[in-house]
């Protein structure tokens, strides 16, 4: 089990589940330090007191809130632990929602929850199985790192997972992006759906889902260490300045995906028609009136023609 970063309890109605919280993810990025270019000496950031004109140790440093330029309010870790909030020491469940209803933009980092001691085992198991059976996720609130946050509880491989969430006002309105509209044909949409079907996968595993950036960076570091020529990136394919034929590009992509994934997948892509625009009552009324007017004009024209023909007939002789 990874190192516990927080201890508290899940508050589920009158049921309390003491838990330890541990990070569910880890970062494998290559780390860099800062060095002086002239002599490659390490450049370090030192914590310095402006009043005493000296460097200070970590145990001499505390948090503070600047009320004015001349007044700072000191805040200790004990103050933060004893905030007058129920979420300071508990994960309060406020409701349950379907997982599909959650906007992915609001989901943040994930944490594993472990029962804290024998007394927490049964209520932990109760909540875990109830979440699985209900097919829903729990919406919770908690206070960490100087702020109250929204979270989700769900089950992954028999473990309850906490996902930190962004508040609604932390997600920007997409209206500001305002992408330009373009017309695409039904045939192009069908071809694009076919490409999606060919590229579909059940699990995010395999050579396509490997961190190649880190691999390439490690090769560069190794080449520099051995004073060898640096590996070169492949040249990107050039388009030759031609106007893109969208349908041809889609069809070629489908063929490549079919060859890469071993031919036919045995499934047909489902294409759904866009709903037709409803005719308004005014438009329908205009069409009905137009039809009636046309029919009336035709009838009047026929009667006038008949009267003229009768007038032209010669009278009978005595």
Give the pLDDT confidence of 52-93 residue by residue, as tens digits: 999 999 999 999 999 998 899 998 888 877 777 766 678 889
**Residue 206 belongs to some domain of the structure:** yes
Range of the domain at 103: 4-25+81-170
Query: Where on the phi/psi map is residue 5: left (φ > 0), alpha (ψ -120 to 50), or beta?
Result: alpha
Q: Both 144 and 192 in a single domain?
A: no
Shared domain for 163 and 92, answered yes or no, is: yes
Three-class DSSP category at 218 = helix
The pTM of the full predicted model, rounded to 2 decimals, is: 0.63
Structurally, how many domains does the chain consist of?
2
For 14-67, what is each residue's pLDDT tens digit? 888 999 999 998 888 888 999 999 999 999 988 999 899 999 999 999 999 999
Is 19 a domain residue? yes
Buried b (16+ CB within 10 A) or exposed e, 28-48: eeeeeeeeeeeeeeeeeeeee
Domain identity same for 255 and 113: no
Q: Kindly state whether residues 10 and 152 are assigned to the same domain.
A: yes
Residue 208's pLDDT is 76
Residue 151 covered by a domain = yes
Mean pLDDT of 136-155: 88
Say whether both 108 and 202 belong to one domain: no
- Asked if 270 and 194 count as a contact pair (C-beta separation under 8 A), the reply is no
Q: Mapping DSSP to helix (H, G, I), strand (E, B) and coil, where does residue 299 land? A: helix
Pair 200, 155 in one domain: no
Q: Is residue 121 part of a domain?
A: yes
**Residue 244 to residues 141, 182, 240, 258: CA-CA distances in angstroms?**
50, 14, 10, 22
| 220-229, 257-266, 306-315: least confidently modelled range | 306-315
Start-to-end CA distance of the chain, whole Å, equals: 125
88 domain-assigned: yes
- The 10 Å Cβ neighbour count of residue 21 is 20
In a domain, residue 49? The reply is no
Same domain, 85 and 217: no
Give residue for tokens 């050039």: 238
């Amino acid at each position: 089990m990874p190192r516990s970063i927080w201890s508290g309890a899940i508050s589920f109605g009158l049921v309390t589940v003491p838990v330890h919280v541990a990070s569910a993810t880890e970062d494998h990025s290559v780390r860099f330090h800062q060095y002086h270019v002239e002599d490659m000496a390490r450049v370090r950031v030192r914590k310095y007191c402006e009043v005493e004109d000296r460097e200070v140790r970590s145990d001499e440093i505390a948090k503070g809130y600047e009320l004015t330029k001349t007044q700072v309010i000191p805040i200790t870790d004990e103050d933060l632990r004893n905030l007058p909030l129920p979420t300071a020491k508990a994960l309060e469940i406020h409701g349950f929602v379907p997982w599909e209803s959650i906007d992915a933009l609001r989901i943040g980092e994930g944490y594993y929850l472990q029962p804290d001691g024998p007394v927490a085992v049964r209520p932990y198991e109760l909540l875990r199985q109830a979440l699985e059976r209900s097919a829903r996720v729990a919406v919770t609130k908690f206070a960490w790192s100087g702020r109250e946050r929204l979270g989700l509880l769900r089950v992954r491989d028999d473990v309850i997972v906490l996902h930190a969430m962004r508040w609604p006002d932390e997600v920007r309105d997409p209206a500001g992006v305002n992408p330009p509209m373009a017309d695409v044909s039904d045939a192009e949409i069908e071809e694009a759906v076919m490409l999606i079907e060919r590229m579909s996968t059940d699990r995010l595993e395999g050579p396509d889902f490997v961190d190649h950036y880190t691999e390439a960076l490690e090769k560069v570091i190794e080449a520099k260490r051995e004073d060898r020529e640096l590996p070169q990136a492949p040249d990107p394919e050039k388009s030759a300045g031609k106007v893109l034929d969208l349908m041809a590009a889609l069809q070629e992509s489908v063929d490549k995906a079919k060859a890469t994934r071993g031919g036919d997948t045995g499934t047909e892509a489902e294409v759904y028609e866009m709903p037709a625009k409803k005719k308004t009552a005014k438009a329908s009324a205009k069409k009905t009136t137009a039809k009636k007017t046309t029919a009336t004009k035709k009838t009047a024209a026929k009667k006038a023609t008949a009267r003229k023909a009768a007038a032209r007939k010669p009278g009978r002789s005595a």
